[in-house]
Amino acid sequence: MTKTTEHILPPVLERSNLLGWMRRNLFGSWIDALLTLIGVWIVYWAASGLLRWALYTAEWKVIVVNARLLMIGQYPIEQVGRLWIWLGFLIFLLGNSLAIWGRGSRIAPALLALPVAMAFIFPFGADPRKWLIAMTAIGLIGWGLGRVKPEALKRSVIAGWVISLPIIILLTYGLSKSEASIVPIVRTNLWGGLLLTFLLTVVGILFSFPIGVLLALGRRSELPAVRWFSVGYIELVRGVPLITILFMAQLMLPLFLPEGWTVDRVVRAMVGITLFSAAYLAENVRGGLQAIPKGQFEAAAALGLSGAQTMIFIILPQALRLVIPILVGQFIALYKDTSLVAIVGLLDLVGIARTVLAQPEFLGLQREVYVFISLIFWALSYGMSYVSQRLEERLGVGIR
């Protein structure tokens, strides 16, 4: 036996060299070869055109001059430190999480070094430079801590992510009305740019989550009145575009409230986004609830748990765990959808872009500004989905 197998060489095509690989993957048949040539031409055409534009034609000065406006809008400059603090907290958590769940991933240090790289590449002022360097330092500390004690930190990191949302909102909004306090209130009409986009997302996630879970439970309730109400709400909201809900929130919300109550425009948009997102979230959570086998309910009943106890301690933890990946996808979609508030006149990233393009010295630079904004949206949303995929693998969700 051994003698014969020694003489058998792998087929020529399967030998792993470049030529064999190319023949298999690029020139398998004449149609394949044609497609390859077309593909190469497309790549060359797109890449060369894009590079030529980005390096020679485009005037990136518009971004450099308006960088602060695009990032935080009119947020008072003496209060910017507060934003850096919560950003630092997020980066610390990110470093921790990458170390704990992303072991073996090489991108963690590279990702954390990004702020320093940005500080040196782009013409920032002295203050942002210092902060950016601090961000990398904080991130690396978090990463180091995570490497040293991955098991001990797990729970606190998860708790950290959960409480980071209210922390972001509180730090950005402020605590007390008096000017003398450390964190005076910054009115929402001063929020703008990426900051506003981000805050809308955070508020949307934080408030739509409990509403969504309640709606999902309501839809599966045995009480017809509750069930029909939930079904009606979910289907109504899912049947209409977000923009109509945002308009409703802007124009009709003030009418719904008693006389004398006023809600500012940003909060109205937040209400609209929350109500919209809750309906979609409810459907996702319902998917998780349906995946829980009946035996779980029966076992809980056999143990003597009440209906509410069964839900809170047995069903929801399992159901939510199952739908984590879908929920992350939902939150990424929410982040992209917040850009619609520009249509109702808020100055989020897209809204600010309009004001930037209205400056007389930057007329006609739509391509530069919108490419930059697309890049921000793309990078953050790609980053979130990448990280969530890694975490999914590590958490073992979906693979049982």
Partner 1 sequence: MQYEQKRETAIPFWRDERILRVLGQVVFVALVVFVATLIYQNMKAGLARQGISLSYAFLKNLSGFDIAETAFPYSRNSAYWQAFLIGLLNTLLVSVVGIIFSTILGVILGVARLSTNFIINRLASFYLEIIRNLSLLVFLIFWYLGVFLKLPRVKEATPWLGDIILTNRGVGIPWGIPTASFPTFRLILFLGLLFALVVFFALREYGKRTGRAPLTLVWSFLAFLLVALIGWFVLPERPIVADLAFVKGLNLSGGKILSPEFMALTSGLVLYTAAFIGEVVRAGIQSVSKGQIEASRALGLNSFQTLRLVVFPQALRVIIPPLTSQYLNLVKNSSLAIAVGYPDVFYVSNTIQNQTGRAVEMISLVMFTYLVLSLATSALMNWYNQRIKLAER
- Terminal CA-to-CA distance of the chain, rounded, Å? 40
Smallest separation, CB 154 to partner 1 (Å)? 29
**Cα–Cα dist 185/163, whole Å:** 20
Least Å distance between CB 240 and partner 1?
5
- Closest CB to partner 1 among residues 124, 247: 247
User: Which of 10, 224 has the CB closer to partner 1?
Assistant: 224
Residue 73 CB, nearest approach to partner 1 (Å): 17
Nearer Cβ to partner 1 (75/337): 337
CB of 54 to partner 1, least distance (A): 13
The site for partner 1 (CB under 8 A) is made up of 24-26, 28, 32, 35-36, 39-40, 42-43, 222-226, 229, 236, 238-244, 247-248, 251-252, 254-259, 332, 336-337, 339-340, 342-343, 349-350, 366-367, 370-371, 373-374, 377-378, 381-382, 385
In the complex, the smallest distance separating the C-beta of residue 336 from partner 1, rounded to whole angstroms, is 4
Cβ-based nearer residue to partner 1, 132 or 271 = 271
Query: What is the spatial distance between Cα 165 and Cα 100, in angstroms, rounded to a whole number?
Result: 21
SS3 readout for the chain: CHHHHHHCCCCHHHCCCHHHHHHHHCCCCHHHHHHHHHHHHHHHHHHHHHHHHHHHHCCCHHHHHCHHHHHHECCCHHHHHHHHHHHHHHHHHHHHHHHHHCCCCCHHHHHHHHHHHHHHHCCCCHHHHHHHHHHHHHHHHHHHHHHHCHHHHHHHHHHHHHHHHHHHHHHHHCCECCCCCCCECCCHHHECHHHHHHHHHHHHHHHHHHHHHHHHHHHCCCCHHHHHHHHHHHHHHHHCCHHHHHHHHHHHHHHHCCCCCCCCHHHHHHHHHHHHHHHHHHHHHHHHHHCCCHHHHHHHHHCCCCHHHHHHHHHHHHHHHHCHHHHHHHHHHHHHHHHHHHCCCCCEHHHHHHHHHCCHHHCCCHHHHHHHHHHHHHHHHHHHHHHHHHHHHHHCCCCC
Q: In whole angstroms, what separates CA 21 from the centre of its chain?
A: 38
Q: Rounded to the nearest whole angstrom, what is the least distance from the CB of residue 2 to partner 1 in the complex?
A: 32
Q: Which is nearer to partner 1, 164 or 381 (CB)?
A: 381
Closer of 115 and 351 to partner 1 (Cβ): 351
Q: Which is nearer to partner 1, 63 or 145 (CB)?
A: 63
Q: Given the complex with partner 1, which of 21 and 313 has the nearer CB atom?
A: 21
Q: Which is nearer to partner 1, 35 or 165 (CB)?
A: 35
The pair of structure tokens assigned to 116 is 């320093």
**Nearest distance, CB of residue 244 and partner 1, angstroms:** 5
Find the shortest distance in angstroms from Cβ 115 to partner 1.
Answer: 21
Least separation in angstroms between residue 99's CB and partner 1 is 25
